[in-house]
Structure 1
Amino acid sequence: MGLVMPNPGTIFWMLIIFGIVLFVLKKFAWKPILNALKEREESIANALNSAEEAKKEVAGLKADNEKIIIEARKEKDVILKEAKVLQAKIVTEAKEKATQEAQKAIEQARQQIEAEKTAAINEIKMQVAELSIVIAEKVIKKELSNKDEQKKMVDGLVDDIKLN
């Protein structure tokens, strides 16, 4: 039973050595260990707080992103509508301008035709006047004693005249 029951001197020395070890640990190691644990606890708490703040920021940024996307879509729709209106306006203006240009061209063609018509009529009048003078000159030159002869001559001259 000597193994189960320790000697009182051994217990005494064990208590003294345990006290010395406890004193040395308390003096030199206990404070740094406690400080290290406290710092570790504070750094974990700070990290958790930072993570929570970052999570809140991400949620806020996500909400802001959604708002920005919605606004961008609205702006896109507005721009597309404005572009369609502008396109319709440009097409309408182009059609109106083309119609006006066509009307101008038609009016110029009418004026040109009218001018050419007037010039042709004036030229025909000039030719008729010249022919009349030529006929009158020939009629006067020839002796006309009777009316039948005069009429035959005028008919012959009219048949000989060719209009251009």
Structure 2
Amino acid sequence: MQSLTGFLILGAEAGGLNIGDMLVQLIIFLVLLALLGKFAWGPFMNMMKEREDYISNEIDTAEKSREEAQRLQREATEELKKTRQDAQSIIEEARNTAAQQEKSIIETARKESDRMKEAARQEIEQERDKAVQQLKDQVATMSVMIASKVIEKELSEQDQQKLIDEYITEAGEDR
């Protein structure tokens, strides 16, 4: 045992190494390392794993949000393009409708103008005919008066009407 003790204390006289103390310290270190592994390192690694999962989920969520935002932007752009096309077609349709209405209004005005011209022409013709008839009546009356003075006799109403009708007939044939 002496030799074992001597072996364990190598160079103890000269301030050497005590192997027993080293073994005890090594055992204590290994036990401490096991305890740290079980009570500190395990929870620490679990916490780091949870943190890693949390960050990974946040990155995935951000990526999905970015993709959703891009999709919504594309949809909004397409909707805006469609709205512009609809607006352009409405404007074009309004222009076509306005052009058709313009043509219709012009045509209606032209027809109304022609109708008014025709009505005025007919009215003028009626007035002319009426004036001619009045003139004929006056001429007939004057002719009867002149004839009665020339003949110096009085005509009966029947004779007068007969003369008027003859004169009107002759005047109408001269035209």
1:141 is matched with which residue: 139, 152, 157? 152
Unmatched runs of 5 consecutive residues or more in structure 2: 1-15, 154-175
Write the letter of the residue equivalent to 2:79: I
Residue 52 of structure 1 deviates from its aligned partner by 1.1
1:36 aligns to what? 47
1:65 aligns to what? 76
The percent identity for this pair of structures is 37
Aligned residues: CA RMSD: 3.0
Q: Does 1:97 align with 2:113?
A: no
Residue 86 of structure 1 deviates from its aligned partner by 1.3
2:140 aligns to what? 129
CA distance in 2, matches of 1:6, 1:80: 102
CA distance in 2, matches of 1:48, 1:121: 107
- Structure 1 window deviating more from structure 2 (80-89 vs 104-113): it is 80-89
Q: Does 1:117 align with 2:116?
A: no
Provide closer, same or farther for how the CA distance between residues 48 and 16 of structure 1 changes in structure 2, counting only shifts above 3 A.
Answer: same
Alpha-carbon displacement from aligned partner over 1:93-112 (angstroms, at most 9, x marks no partner): 11101100100110110111
CA distance in 2, matches of 1:14, 1:90: 108
Write the letter of the residue equivalent to 2:147: A
1:46 aligns to what? 57
What TM-score, normalized by structure 1, do the two folds share? 0.67
- Structure 1 window deviating more from structure 2 (101-110 vs 57-66): it is 57-66
What TM-score, normalized by structure 2, do the two folds share? 0.63
CA distance in 2, matches of 1:32, 1:135: 149
Write the letter of the residue equivalent to 2:131: A
Alpha-carbon displacement from aligned partner over 1:64-109 (angstroms, at most 9, x marks no partner): 2232232223223322222221111111111101100100110110
Residue 57 of structure 1 deviates from its aligned partner by 1.5
CA distance in 2, matches of 1:105, 1:135: 44
Tell me the SS of whatever aligns to 1:64. Answer: helix
Write the letter of the residue equivalent to 1:135: I
Residue 37 of structure 1 deviates from its aligned partner by 2.1
CA distance in 1, matches of 2:21, 2:138: 163
Write the letter of the residue equivalent to 1:82: E
CA distance in 1, matches of 2:98, 2:126: 41
Write the letter of the residue equivalent to 1:121: V
CA distance in 2, matches of 1:6, 1:85: 110
Residue 49 of structure 1 deviates from its aligned partner by 0.5
